Amino acid sequence: MPSRARSDAGQVMEIKLEHLKDAETAAAKNRWHTGDCHGAFCQRSGKCLRDAGGKVVGGAEGKVEEITDLWDLRRDTKIDGSELDTG
């Protein structure tokens, strides 16, 4: 079910972060006025889907899994119209 339909039905996704195990920068660069960073975050977390009354209707309450998230982050590095010195 798409997230909008879940929201309209009063369902809520509950996510509990147990432990952030590791964070690693895979690559980073600054080009012109933009900084890019590519990284991975390894975590232990659990999730379940609850209906409007709080009953678990998806996932498993208390079940914890190890998950690796890959992130691409981008930031404007200009400050007050000038370029940030990253050297």
- How confident is the model at residue 7, as a pLDDT? 82
> What's the number of domains the chain is made of?
1
pLDDT tens digit sequence for 19-53:
888 888 878 888 878 888 889 889 999 999 999 99
Report H helices in the chain: 3-8
Domain housing 62: 3-76
Q: How far apart are CA 62 and CA 83, in angstroms?
A: 48
The whole-angstrom separation of Cα 58 and Cα 18 is 19
pLDDT band for 15, please (50, 70, 90 cuts): confident
Q: Which of 24, 34, 27, 26 is nearest to 86 (CA)?
A: 34
Asked if residue 72 is part of any domain, the answer here is yes
On whether residue 71 sits in a domain, the answer given is yes
Task: Determine the pLDDT at residue 56.
Answer: 93
